[in-house]
Amino acid sequence: MQLLVTRFHLLLLTVTIAITGVAYLRVPPDFVYPAHWSGSTADWLWPRHVLLAAPLAQILLLLAFFLLGKAFTKNQFAKSQHILDPALTMLMTVIAACQLGLLLTGTGSDLDFIRFTGLGLGASLIVLGIVLFEAERHTYAGLRMPWPIPSDRTWTLVHRTTGLAYGAAGIMLLSLAWMDAGPGVLIGAFALALLAPAALAGFLTLVARP
């Protein structure tokens, strides 16, 4: 069966749901999350119901990847599975890490796990950017699209541009985490850093000329 959703992805969803349940038991009902700071004052607050966003986002991701796998032909699936599988794993893991960060914050922990996630993800994206920038055609490290990349010149353009985009995204995350921009800004930056370079890569493979 052509399934991009694995048991491990379902396990990550289960972990996130478990974290959400613990959070609803441990975080006071009237607790608000400071999502952004202006000086020493929180100017962006999230109610406790923000905890529902993570499992809902993961369910939507799983549904989208499930339908994507079903829509692919066998050839398209074979070409893109080894890229889309870890991509879904990373997205699910980042969401679970953010949910754990909200749990720790809501229970009074001094560990800013969302900021820690930003540092780790930022460093990982810089490494990914270097790998893509230096990749050669027909190597496992290269991108795999469901559609063919028409020429060596286009392949190089796509990989160099995508590598630079992921590197810039990693630097952005490291900077925001270092400056302690707040969980609201960081979580938004996570989504932008993970999705924008991938969307750029797909767009370039479709519009770049041989």
Q: Residues 21, 64: one domain?
A: yes
When divided into structural domains, the chain yields a total of 2
Q: Residues 79, 124: one domain?
A: no
Q: Residues 99, 143: one domain?
A: no
Q: Residues 161, 177: one domain?
A: yes
Q: Residues 36, 64: one domain?
A: yes
Name the pTM for this structure.
0.88
The more confident residue out of 141 and 208 is: 208
Report pLDDT for 142: 59
The more confident residue out of 21 and 77 is: 21
How far does the chain reach from its first CA to its final CA, in angstroms? 34
Q: Residues 107, 164: one domain?
A: no
Report pLDDT for 44: 84
Last residue of a domain, one of 76, 111, 146: 111
Q: Which residues contact 7 (CB under 8 A, 6 or more apart)?
A: none
Q: Residues 1, 30: one domain?
A: yes
Closest alpha carbon to 187 in 106, 63, 108, 97: 97
Q: Which residues of 2-19 are buried (b: 16+ CB within 10 A; e: fewer)?
A: eebbeeebeebbebbbeb
What is the rounded CA–CA span in Å between residue 61 and residue 47? 24
What is the rounded CA–CA span in Å between residue 173 and residue 189? 7
Q: Residues 76, 177: one domain?
A: no
Determine the structural domain holding residue 59 and report its residue range. 1-111
